Structure 1
Amino acid sequence: MISKFQNSLFVTFFLLFSVCSLTAQESDANSKFTIAFGSCNRVDLPNPFWEDIASKDPDVFIWGGDVIYADTDNMKKMEAMYSKQKNNDTYKSFAAQTEILGTWDDHDYGINDGGAEYSKKQSSQKLFLDFLNVPEDSEIRNKEGVYMAKDYQLGDKLIKIIVLDTRYFRTELTDDRKSGKRYVPNANGEGTVLGAEQWQWLTEQLNQQSDYCIVMSSIQFLSAEHGFETWGNFPGEVTRFENLLKSGNASNVILLSGDRHISEFSKKEISGLEYPLIDFTSSGLTHSYTSYKGEPNKYRIGEVISDRSYGLLTLDLKNNLVNFKIMGINDQILSELNQEY
């Protein structure tokens, strides 16, 4: 027979155990940060992923570009396409419960493979920021381009998300179809991806202390051999970015990209950088490169995924581990990568 004293001890132990268990669970939950991202989304095709992404309860979703396929200087047409996407039932429900950041790429910018020369870029910028619900009084509205940054504090850890604009300031590409590729690297390091003002801003951001820094770039950074759009078409810009990583105070920088209608992981060891640079490409959300037969990428880890997909990152701040997943239809994990930092 259990005495009142024994029963009291049992209850006290049970309550203490429960509190400790809850505290441990809360601690684990507070040490993880989840980012979902995706690109290449047509409003005239089924949007299959929003409920799946919502089920992962991401802390933030990042658009990687090509939110719509407008390719136009008709701003009424562009606005109508944004409105259609914004009012898609599953996306609307997702956006109501999830923080959304993002950048554009060429097709929502307004011109295929377009850059600084696009005549409607200021009007297009307004429509893009309207789509993201950026407040009218935000400083983002008062500058050229759609680049932005946001910090997230989890306990004593700081996560910085940087969203770049690889369109508004980007100078001319070198078109050389005779080489068998659409574009080749510019000679003598000529041209710019980001432009002087954005480079200055990026330098300031990467000089700030952070434990993890996620950089969304729309176009690929590491994969540079395929002959389409890539940072590799501007070798001087690649060198500049890598040098900035080595001299800045941001730790564990991770690149995200889209554009290509394929998904893949790329990884490069850079002399002078204490961690490997990973470029996680996720594309596309509604359509993909189904006829893909292969292309070179000396930094590729694993296989190219040519099915529709979105990207998922889980930052485990307690164990200094990042899990990368390429997620397909029906919640299928198409490819996965783990990296210790």
Structure 2
Amino acid sequence: MISRVVSAFIIGLLLSVSSGPANAQQSTRVAFGCCFNHSERQPVFDGLHRSDPEVFVFLGNVLDVDADDMDDMLEAYEVFNRFRGPKVLRRQSAVMSVWNLTDYRIDGHTGANNPAKHAVKNHFLTYWREPISSPRMFQEHGLAKSIIIGNEPQRVQVIVLDGRWNRDALTQVGWFERVARSMDEQLGPYLRNPAGRLLGEAQWQWLAEQLQKPAEVRVLMSATPFYAPANGYDSWAMYSQEQQRLEQLLQELQPEGLVLAVGDRGFGEFSKVEGVVDYPLWQVTAGWMSAENQDAYNSDVRNGAAYPKSRYGQIEVLWRDTPELKLSLRDVDGRPLTTKTLLLPKVSPN
């Protein structure tokens, strides 16, 4: 009987469902990362196991594949499934995942125009073992997901957005200009799409509902940065209408304890934005899990240095009389490269 109760508790944690009052704890850790070669062993998982986060979120590009069809995608999943690191992480942490370019794209279709997106979604949910009762299995706006860890007054909400399912495509610059830009870290290959969409109406409505649920801390995640220069690399800044809509939603709802967490960059950084909510809004960029090979571009919102050796990010909530957030960028061994401490409830720098 006892073993059955313990098993039920573990399953409940992995499915991110709170089923009763929890004992007060000293801290809650949420880690996140993106982008690695699925066909090779990744030593970063050893560091992640030592960090022992309650939740880990894969922010896309977990499969390094340019799939021509679903067979290519399925073969990549089979290769990825051979490695021990992700399996151990699943056993010790509640794992969430969302796709980005390489684990969504089929035959060059990268957004709403992907004719195979329902098949891609089905295989994604199967591989990541999404419970059959999960709203993700039936929702029409993609793979967005929200969970709340813990009980009052130690609740951490994790919201993961889907920026692929309803995305309007970004157009690449011409071939000659792409070649020139490839030698300049300041410029990426894409043209801006100011009126393009990322989320779609159903997901915007869903997001507004999630942000109004009670929680002491909220981590809003996207596979691509919310804040970055509109410099040709994929980000919300390339979709300025969507970025402005997000800011308007946050200004209207004023959610407390909000931090942003993003991927899709080969370096880690902290960014700070003023004037969106009633406190400084911080964004943590994780860095690639598999390599450190992208030079950092200039950014007006970067706070401090960029860290090419960052392999993942972590947000730890220390439940003290005045709770603190510790934002950190971590190397391949799980050691912090830099840390930023923020105070709750009006998240302001310490």
Common topology (TM > 0.5)? yes
Report whether the alignment pairs 1:237 with 2:242. yes
Is the contact between residue 136 and residue 145 of structure 2 (CA under 8 Å) also seen in structure 1?
A: yes
Structure 2 match to 1:263: 268
- Residues 63-121 of structure 1 deviation map (CA, whole Å, 9 limit, x = unaligned): 11111112214222212222322331122122122110121110111256821112211
Deviation at residue 30 of structure 1 after TM alignment: 0.8
Rg: which structure is higher? 1
Runs of 5+ unmatched residues, structure 2: 1-21, 182-186
Deviation at residue 155 of structure 1 after TM alignment: 4.0
Structure 2 match to 1:220: 225
Number of residue pairs aligned between Structure 1 and Structure 2: 310
Structure 2 match to 1:211: 216
Report whether the alignment pairs 1:58 with 2:53. yes
Is the contact between residue 317 and residue 324 of structure 2 (CA under 8 Å) also seen in structure 1?
A: yes
Match of 2:257 among 249, 252, 257: 252
Query: What is the CA–CA distance in structure 1 between the aligned matches of 2:43 and 2:121, rounded to whole Å?
Result: 27
Q: Superposition pairs for residues 127-142 of structure 1, below 5 Å? A: 127-142=123-138
Query: What is the CA–CA distance in structure 2 between the aligned matches of 1:75 and 1:204, rounded to whole Å?
Result: 34
Query: What is the CA–CA distance in structure 2 between the aligned matches of 1:206 and 1:64, rounded to whole Å?
Result: 20
What TM-score does the superposition give when structure 2 sets the normalisation length? 0.82
- Residues 247-267 of structure 1 deviation map (CA, whole Å, 9 limit, x = unaligned): 226312111111122211111
Runs of 5+ unmatched residues, structure 1: 1-25
Deviation at residue 270 of structure 1 after TM alignment: 1.5
Q: Sort the Cα spacing of 1:334 and 1:134 in 2 relative to 1 into closer, same or farther, 3 A.
A: same
Aligned partner letter, 2:66: D
Structure 2 match to 1:119: 115
What TM-score does the superposition give when structure 1 sets the normalisation length? 0.84
Structure 1 match to 2:74: 79
Match of 1:334 among 307, 329, 337: 337
Structure number with the higher helix fraction is 1
Structure 2 match to 1:39: 34
Identity of aligned residues (%): 26
- Residues 106-158 of structure 1 deviation map (CA, whole Å, 9 limit, x = unaligned): 01112568211122111111111112210234221112311111112244232
Match of 2:289 among 280, 285, 291: 285
Structure 2 match to 1:164: 161
Q: Superposition pairs for residues 123-202 of structure 1, below 5 Å? A: 123-144=119-140, 145-176=142-173, 181=187, 182-187=189-194, 190-202=195-207
Q: Sort the Cα spacing of 1:201 and 1:331 in 2 relative to 1 into closer, same or farther, 3 A.
A: closer
Query: What is the CA–CA distance in structure 1 between the aligned matches of 2:70 and 2:172, rounded to whole Å?
Result: 28
Q: Sort the Cα spacing of 1:234 and 1:75 in 2 relative to 1 into closer, same or farther, 3 A.
A: same
